[in-house]
Structures are given as C-alpha cells and as structure tokens.
Structure 1
C-alpha cells in the first residue's frame, strides 16, 4: 500500500506550463493526468479517481474559480484537494474567494519547483493515508460484523437451551413466572412482582392471591386458560387487566407455554407478562385524536361549503377571489391553532397573518397588549378581520397610499374591545345594504361569540368597534370542536 500510486490532475490551457509541471512533479512517482481546459478537467474527474488537482486561476472560457465551484458542487469531490496557481499578484480578497471555492493552497508564478513538489506531496500522502484508513475501517467493520454474527448465532443457541429465561426479560415492563402444575407452587421473578405492584416479602403467590389482583371483568381469562391447558392446549396468549393494591389499573398481555411428560400430561406452565398500559393509552389517545381530526375536518368542510355557497359576486373572477380569500383566512387561523395543539391563538398573530398579503408600508398602526384567544374566538375574529381588511383594501383607507388604519385592542373584565379606525382614504358613504362579509361578521361575532359589532360610516373613514367576551358560559364554548358547524349555521342565517 505504501507504493500505491495516486492520480494528480494538472489543469492549464498552456502546454508549456503543463510540461513544466510534469517535469517538476515527475520525481514524486505518481500518475500525472493532463487537462488543457476546465471542461476537459471535469470529464477526467468523472472517469478517474483524483487525489490532488493543480489548476491555473486564469484560463479562458472556464477559469480556476469557476472550475473549483463546479467541482465542489459534486458530492463525490467535496474533499478533493485543489491547489491554485496564479501568475498575478493574489490579493487577500482573491485568496478568500479561492478558499471559499475549495482551494487548499496557492502557488504563485514563477513556480519554485521544491515548493510545488512539497505541497503536492503533502496532499497526495494525505489522500493515500485517508484511503488506507478507510480500508482499515472497512476491514474493521467487516470483522465486527462477522464477530457480531458469531455472537448472534451463539445467543440463538443459548436462547434455545434457556427458553423460559430468555422470555423473562426483567426490564421493568416484563416479567416471567413458572407454575408447577402438579404441586401448585408458583415462582415469580422481580419483573412480575413489579408489574403487579407487590413485593415478595409481603405477597404470597398462589391462585387465590393472583386472582384477587385481576380486574373483575378479566377473571374468566385465567379460568379459560386453565381449562385450555387441561384440554391439551400447549400455548396460550391473552390480554388482561390487573388492579394493583394502590388502585392503579394496568393492561398486560400474557403468554404461557406448557411442558408435558411422555404421556402428554401437563407438568409445568411457564410464561411471560408484559405491561402494555402505555401502548393501550397511546392507542386510546390516537383513537380520540383521529375522531377529533375527523370531527374538525368535517366541520371545517361544512364552513367552507357555506362560504362557497353563500358568497355573492357579479362576475366569476370576483367570486373566486372572495371565496379564496375567506377560505385562506380560515386556513391561516387553523395553522396557528394547530401549532398550539388547538389550545388557542394570540390576537397579534391573527392580525399579522391577515396583514401578510398586503404591502402597506407604514399605513397601519397596531396598539394592544398580548391577548390569548380560545379556538372558537380566534376563528371568528380571523374571518372578521379578513372581511375588514378586504373591504378596506378595496374601498377604504387601504385602497390609497394616503390612507391610514389604526387597530387597537384592550381587555377589561374578560371583555376584549377591538377598535378599527380608518382615515385619509376615499370619502365614505353609509352603504344602502350590507354585503355578505358585513352580515357574516355581525352574525358570527354577535350570535356565535355573544359579542357586539358596531359600524360608524364616517366620511373620513370607517370606525368599527368589536366587543367580544373572552370567556363564554354557554355550551358552545365548552365544546370548541362544534364551532365550525355553528359558524356555518350563522353564515346561512347571515345570507338571508
């Protein structure tokens, strides 16, 4: 391995320089590979394992920096050593650029043969040693795998000869037991005692005491197992519950196997008990979560369906825009709520999400302390804010560069008061009729949340005041998952 040659790639567009490099590096006894351009160098790299690249910085078409960048982009050449040769004075900026491109060293022109040979030799040796180390590591891994296979084979044989003890892994949630079918004697290991929540110093293992710890609804499982073994069954498995002396109920799975004599009579029954309480609880949580997700999805779809069905517009484009805006507002607040595991949402985040689609500079002023909203309140306010922002961007203060909007909020005695004040926009006139957005805003805030929404269509700009209780005492808030369905009904009433 010490005499194994490595490949050194020489890249320069001038044949005379390439020849000079060959003469200088010939004494190293390595394989010198020639490339007269950056593209030719790339072709060589794809076909040949290269230890060191010696590249001229100044080349036509593809210079040394560009070539280095392309080389470093390829995962195979991430650690290939590159030495730059520069015929011009290299500044600190150029050096920094070269190092960023992956250079490990610079050699100035005129080249000092001894210096160039020394630098290339160092990196060639480093490459060779790295490869030797990789081979040694691979060999070590192969030997470890072989040794591991031997140990696994030995363990398997040990498992066959000690089947009962191999099953009884006393690791906290597993225990093993042995029951002499003839004498009635029991043997429990430490894990078995731990699962049942008793100690060997105070608990006598016998059928009566064991049965006393079983859940009343699962006692028949023990009787059934005994009956099965008496009928000739050789193995049995079942799930059952135990009630520990401290009242804690644990779920377990028990596996038992019978040992028989030459006549087929049961002599001994051995088994393993596994505490699966955490798995059972996880399954219950998963089932509840699946039901909740299904419930929320259906209700969200019902609300989206109402938005689609009840939105009005004079043309298709306006209709699509209105529907998309309202559904996107609903999606944004759902994202915020999901990040908090549906515990609630901050009012400022709702406002920031609705501000995101607009590029308004300094037109909007926000003032208010941090307020945490319940999921139902957050969803309603998100849709209400969307309607206010949309109307303002179309017809109000946010439709002009001179318009201004001030949003302020405060909480007093569990009542959130949010003020929306526009100014500097187009002249405002009181609308002759309320649109779907305004009607749905009023319906959801007043009917769903038990709050109030007041509109003052001042000539200088809309003034809207929303009052929303943060704590509801109705059945609607005790079941937040019902919010979407209720909101859907409110939207339908609003459409009338």
Structure 2
C-alpha cells in the first residue's frame, strides 16, 4: 500500500540552490514546495501542512534565524522540523543559537546528497508516523466516546426499565418468582408477596403454602403446569384465582418459562404474575350491563306493545296521536334514567318533561320535596302522569286559559302521596266508562306499583290522589320488608 506523501518546504533566495535541492530530494517521492524568501515561506506555511523545512541561514531581509523564530511563535508550527543549511563555517555559538531558534539539524555546504536525503527521510517518516499515531488516537477516542455513549444509553434504558418494573411492583399489579426445580427452593420478589397478600417475614414460600393460597377450583392449574413442564413444555400461561389470608379473592394471570440443562431436563422455572382483578371486574360489569340493557330493552318493548295493543280511538289520526304521545312519554323517562345510569329519576324532572310540550305560563302550581324514584317506579309513574296531562289538555283545566292545575306531593314512611287538583276549566261530568288512560293509570299504580289511585270527578275539576310505595313490597317478604325495586320490579311493571 502506497504511503501518503508529505510536504517538504525548501527555502533559499538563490534559484540554483533550490534547483539543486530538488534534484537531490526528488528520489524521496515526497511533495517539494519552493519558497525564494522568508516571507514567501511564511505564506506557504499558513496555507499548507509542512512536514520538514529546509532553510538557508544566510538570506537577505529575513535570514534563517529570524524566520525560525517567527515560525516557532506560531502554535501550529512549534513542532515542525527545521534543518538549517549554511555555506559558511558556523561556530558552536551559532549552532546553539540555531537550536534555540528551533532547528533540529545543520547541513553544511557543499551538501552531500546522501546525507541530506537521509536526514530529510528520517524527519519525513517521523512526521508521517506522528500523524498516523494522532489519527489512530482520534479513532480510538471516537470509539471510546461511541462505546461510552452506547453504555450510557443502555444504562439509561435499563434504569428506565427497572423504574417501570418498580412502579408496576409498587402498584401491586405485578410480581416475579423463581423456582429451583432440583432443590425446590423458591424466590419471590416484593410484588409477588404483595399480590398474594403475605409478607416474607411470616410466609415461607414452598409448594404446600402456595397451593394453600390458590382458589380450591384452581389448584389443578398448578398440578397441570408441573405436569406440562415434566413432559417437556418450555412455556406455560394460565389464569387463576388466589384467596388471600384476609379472604379477598384476586384474579391473576401467570406466565412461566423453563430452563433446561444439556440433557433437556428442567432445572429452573421462572415466571411473572400479574394481578388482573380489576380487568375481570370490569368484564363482569360489562357483561352485567349487557344483560341489563337487554332486559330493559325487552321491558321497554313490552310496554310499547301494551300501549299499541290497548290504545283505542275512533279515528286513525287520534289513534296515532295517542300512541305517539304514550311512546314519547316512555322515551322521555328512558332518557332521564339513561343520564343517571339507571340509578333513578327525580319526580320533579318527570313532571317538567311532561309539561315541556305545553305553554301554560302560570296555570300550573307545583309543590313538593325532591323525591328520587327507582327506575321501574319512574317509568310507570311517567306514563300515569302523561295520561293525566293528556286528559287535562283535551278535556280538563289545561284545555282553557282560565283553567288551573295544582300538583302537590309529600313522602311519609316510604310512601309517596301525589295530589292532582284541577279547577277553572270546563264543567266536569263523571265518565260512564273508563278509557285506556284511566284503566292504564289504575293498573300501573295499583297492580304494578302496589299503590292506590283515587278519582273524584268534581264539577269544578278533577281531583286525583295517587299513593305510590317508594320501595316495592315483595311477595316473599315478611311484614315491613321491602324490595329495592330493581330489574325484577321493572319486569313486573312491563306485564
């Protein structure tokens, strides 16, 4: 491989000498740079990287000593090799002065070509080796920096990973363990103890104690895992339940991997346990919600079917209006219940929703406390209120501007009493027969809610009194025992 050429600067004010130096040094195969004065030499040095300077001591304007002193003052050239050529006999004092100025050697005139070539070759090679060492040193430093950065990055990632693992362990969601298959020794980390609800100071980790914490229905999972590893399985994953010493049941997912020796025999099993109780509970809530939505949808359809089947009218338009009004009432209470996640509805909200289609101004007076109704009670009572409002708007006090309606309610001993009193409307006559509205109102309040509905068809206006238990008495409950009015009540209400 050809080595890199270096630059050799030849400085002399006599062209003949410069030509002679070129001839002598041409065989070295290096780059020869010519300067005919000290100032020209300085210009070359500032533009070119020079390995060796061959300079004549005796030059006009700027001699070799002065040039050497100026070169050495520059930080870049403090180590550049300079060889003086002198045509006169120099004394020891002159030599010392030259060395002080930075010369590394003297060559007397007449120049012996072999000697000059040998000196230049030595310093050129020294320069080349020095540059090579500097290059290798830079490369080594770059590799060290790169390796250091890589190690720092790996350390940071490892630290970050350990922090995430510590956070998961601290949250009690994950734990790790190790089981020596040969000696039977177990090792649990802090997270594993936390998941099982025990402590290292009081709990000895061994197969018997671990099995005692497993849910009785999931003990076979441990036996199955052991059997699978004995048959050559290398990895195993399963869900299982544990029963903590305080009785709390937790769901977990366990992942285990086996380490084998050269003969393929299992020597160690390591694994991770993750507490998935919250996920399981969320799945159970979702399934329950799906069943509840299905149940409520069926109830709503059953109520709508009853409305369609039992509604009577002489004209198709009247029939459609009646059905739409009752379905809309059912839809409104359904919206209210949905906004409360089917926890219940306020009585005043039901009344406000039924009043919304009418512009009645000060014709209606409402008075009563805040009452929270169970979902089934709210649905049934909403339909009953719809019938009362519809009847009043068609035939009663709300059919004229002079009519007035007062709705009052109170609660005593879990019994809601609602009073509906109309006045100032058309003359009222007791109906000869009960229409769908009256029949459905009586059926919903008395049969479905276990309450009472009383009608007083006074000439000055209808007076209706509804008594509704806020907690439905069950058929199997003893005296004083009430149901909370959940889905079962809603199912009865839909009948």
Same fold (TM over 0.5): yes
> Aligned in 2, Cα 1:269/1:86: closer, same or farther, shift over 3 Å?
same
> Aligned in 2, Cα 1:168/1:358: closer, same or farther, shift over 3 Å?
closer
Residue by residue over 1:207-226, the C-alpha shift from the partner in whole angstroms, topping out at 9 and shown as x without a partner, is: 12211211222111111111
1:146 is displaced (CA, Å) by 16
Q: Which moved more, 1:258-267 or 1:337-346?
A: 337-346
> Aligned in 2, Cα 1:142/1:291: closer, same or farther, shift over 3 Å?
farther
Answer yes or no: is the 8 Å Cα contact 1:239–1:252 preserved in 2. yes
Distance 1:485 1:334 in 2: 19
1:315 is displaced (CA, Å) by 2.0
Answer yes or no: is the 8 Å Cα contact 2:303–2:494 preserved in 1. no
> Aligned in 2, Cα 1:78/1:262: closer, same or farther, shift over 3 Å?
closer
1:453 is displaced (CA, Å) by 1.5
Answer yes or no: is the 8 Å Cα contact 1:299–1:482 preserved in 2. no
> Aligned in 2, Cα 1:87/1:191: closer, same or farther, shift over 3 Å?
farther
1:177 is displaced (CA, Å) by 0.6
Answer yes or no: is the 8 Å Cα contact 2:471–2:483 preserved in 1. no
> Aligned in 2, Cα 1:324/1:223: closer, same or farther, shift over 3 Å?
same
> Aligned in 2, Cα 1:495/1:219: closer, same or farther, shift over 3 Å?
closer
Aligned-partner SS, 1:123: helix
Answer yes or no: is the 8 Å Cα contact 1:439–1:495 preserved in 2. no
Residue by residue over 1:184-237, the C-alpha shift from the partner in whole angstroms, topping out at 9 and shown as x without a partner, is: 221111101111111111212111221121122211111111111111111000
Distance 1:254 1:356 in 2: 57
Aligned-partner SS, 1:486: coil
Distance 1:264 1:487 in 2: 60
Q: Which moved more, 1:33-42 or 1:379-388?
A: 33-42
Residue by residue over 1:110-147, the C-alpha shift from the partner in whole angstroms, topping out at 9 and shown as x without a partner, is: 99999999999999999999999999999999999999
> Aligned in 2, Cα 1:8/1:202: closer, same or farther, shift over 3 Å?
farther
Distance 1:406 1:82 in 2: 120
Q: Which moved more, 1:354-363 or 1:255-264?
A: 255-264
Answer yes or no: is the 8 Å Cα contact 1:402–1:425 preserved in 2. yes
1:278 is displaced (CA, Å) by 1.4
Answer yes or no: is the 8 Å Cα contact 2:472–2:489 preserved in 1. no
1:348 is displaced (CA, Å) by 1.2
Distance 1:91 1:408 in 2: 133
> Aligned in 2, Cα 1:166/1:401: closer, same or farther, shift over 3 Å?
closer
User: Which residue is equivalent to 1:424?
Assistant: 424
Alignment of 1:102-251 (within 5 A): 154=154, 171-251=171-251
User: Which residue is equivalent to 1:396?
Assistant: 396
Distance 1:356 1:232 in 2: 73
> Aligned in 2, Cα 1:103/1:365: closer, same or farther, shift over 3 Å?
farther
Distance 1:64 1:339 in 2: 101
Residue by residue over 1:392-439, the C-alpha shift from the partner in whole angstroms, topping out at 9 and shown as x without a partner, is: 111111111111111112223333221211112122222222111111
Residue by residue over 1:435-493, the C-alpha shift from the partner in whole angstroms, topping out at 9 and shown as x without a partner, is: 1111111111111122221222222221212222333322x799999999999999999
Distance 1:226 1:334 in 2: 54
Aligned-partner SS, 1:111: coil
Aligned-partner SS, 2:402: coil
Answer yes or no: is the 8 Å Cα contact 1:164–1:271 preserved in 2. no
Distance 1:247 1:89 in 2: 110
1:262 is displaced (CA, Å) by 2.4
Runs of 4+ in 1 over 3 A off after TM superposition: 1-171, 476-496
Answer yes or no: is the 8 Å Cα contact 1:444–1:491 preserved in 2. no
Distance 1:415 1:28 in 2: 120
Answer yes or no: is the 8 Å Cα contact 2:473–2:483 preserved in 1. no
1:31 is displaced (CA, Å) by 55
> Aligned in 2, Cα 1:114/1:424: closer, same or farther, shift over 3 Å?
farther
Larger-Rg structure: 2
> Aligned in 2, Cα 1:277/1:117: closer, same or farther, shift over 3 Å?
farther
Unaligned runs of 5+ in 2: none
- Using the size of structure 1 for normalisation, the TM-score is 0.63
Distance 2:304 2:411 in 1: 30
Answer yes or no: is the 8 Å Cα contact 1:310–1:495 preserved in 2. no
Answer yes or no: is the 8 Å Cα contact 2:376–2:489 preserved in 1. no
> Aligned in 2, Cα 1:200/1:52: closer, same or farther, shift over 3 Å?
farther
Q: What's the RMSD between the two structures over aligned residues? A: 25.7
Answer yes or no: is the 8 Å Cα contact 2:299–2:490 preserved in 1. no
Answer yes or no: is the 8 Å Cα contact 1:376–1:477 preserved in 2. no
1:391 is displaced (CA, Å) by 0.8
> Aligned in 2, Cα 1:385/1:160: closer, same or farther, shift over 3 Å?
closer
> Aligned in 2, Cα 1:267/1:67: closer, same or farther, shift over 3 Å?
same
Residue by residue over 1:298-330, the C-alpha shift from the partner in whole angstroms, topping out at 9 and shown as x without a partner, is: 111111111112111122221111111111111
> Aligned in 2, Cα 1:393/1:64: closer, same or farther, shift over 3 Å?
farther
Q: Which moved more, 1:270-279 or 1:91-100?
A: 91-100
Distance 2:119 2:479 in 1: 71
Q: Which moved more, 1:70-79 or 1:178-187?
A: 70-79
Distance 1:458 1:109 in 2: 149
Distance 2:160 2:150 in 1: 16
Distance 2:91 2:449 in 1: 69
Distance 1:276 1:402 in 2: 66
Distance 2:110 2:434 in 1: 85
Distance 1:332 1:408 in 2: 22
Q: Which moved more, 1:96-105 or 1:282-291?
A: 96-105
> Aligned in 2, Cα 1:261/1:114: closer, same or farther, shift over 3 Å?
closer
> Aligned in 2, Cα 1:295/1:161: closer, same or farther, shift over 3 Å?
closer
1:340 is displaced (CA, Å) by 2.9
Distance 1:239 1:295 in 2: 31
Unaligned runs of 5+ in 1: none
User: Which residue is equivalent to 1:464?
Assistant: 464
Q: Which moved more, 1:27-36 or 1:434-443?
A: 27-36
